[in-house]
Amino acid sequence: MPFPPDPPLAWTRVATRTLHRTPFIELEQNDVIRPDGSAGDYTLARFVNRAVGVVPWEKGGVWLVGQSRFALGRYSWEIPEGGVPQDEDMEEAARRELKEETGITADTLTHLFDIHTSNSCTDEWGQTFLATGLTHGETELEATEDIQRLFVTLDEALAAIERGRITDGLTVASLYKVALMRANGELG
């Protein structure tokens, strides 16, 4: 255990006001005292939901989903992902997103890691899972979802990260962890 105990939080919140609220984020302006004692402003995007991602693994490869990402103004290939309301179990949400976006149900979900996706100006937190023992069925896409499915070998997926074709954070981190598990002989 090389990590020392956490010191007290070095920031103090003096006042908070909500600038704008949507079903997905709350934009929050804070008056703060910085670690050096000076006064400042710290504006955040607080996420209403948690994020979940799931790596559907079979036959040496993974199922990806492709969709237009408005925030990026571009198309993105990713593991199945979604937002998780505060009252929904994370693993159940992973199973739900997997079924909705790919039609897949899984015998086993294995937790991969917890993650804060972008901790300078958001509080978004999430988890990802490895899904194995896959059974294929019908998708259950929402009307606003415009999603393609694609099976690629893990090596093809890693090569796509290398050339910047896959950039989604949960996807990059999860695929590298799964590749490490494979290298360590921890995958079937």
Which residues in the 112-131 window bind its own copies by CB under 8 A? 113-125
Q: Are 146 and 68 in contact (CB under 8 A)?
A: yes
- With CB under 8 A as the contact rule, the residue among 15, 22, 85, 138 that binds its own copies is 22
Sequence-ordered list of residues with C-beta below 8 angstroms from that of 166, at least 6 positions apart, any chain: 64, 76, 77, 78, 157, 160, 172, 175
User: Minimum CB separation from its own copies for residue 158, in Å?
Assistant: 8
User: Minimum CB separation from its own copies for residue 71, in Å?
Assistant: 5
User: Minimum CB separation from its own copies for residue 18, in Å?
Assistant: 11
Residue 132 touches its own copies, criterion: CB under 8 A = no
Which bin fits 94, alpha (ψ -120 to 50), beta or left (φ > 0)? alpha
Residue 17 touches its own copies, criterion: CB under 8 A = no
Residue 74 touches its own copies, criterion: CB under 8 A = yes
Q: Are 78 and 94 in contact (CB under 8 A)?
A: no
User: CB-wise, 20 or 136, nearer to its own copies?
Assistant: 20
Rounded to whole angstroms, the Cα distance separating 121 from 64 reads 28
Residue 136 touches its own copies, criterion: CB under 8 A = no
User: Between the CA of residue 93 and those of 90, 134, 165, 179, what are the distances in Å?
Assistant: 5, 16, 27, 24
The residues that bridge with 67 in the sheet, in sequence order, are: 76
- With CB under 8 A as the contact rule, the residue among 15, 59, 73, 107 that binds its own copies is 73
User: CB-wise, 132 or 150, nearer to its own copies?
Assistant: 150
User: CB-wise, 31 or 105, nearer to its own copies?
Assistant: 31
Among the candidate windows 88-96, 97-105, 131-139, 163-171, which touches its own copies by CB under 8 A?
163-171
Span 76-95, contacts to its own copies by CB under 8 A: 76-77, 83
Which bin fits 185, alpha (ψ -120 to 50), beta or left (φ > 0)? left
User: CB-wise, 122 or 139, nearer to its own copies?
Assistant: 122
Q: Is 5 helix (H, G, I), strand (E, B) or coil?
A: coil
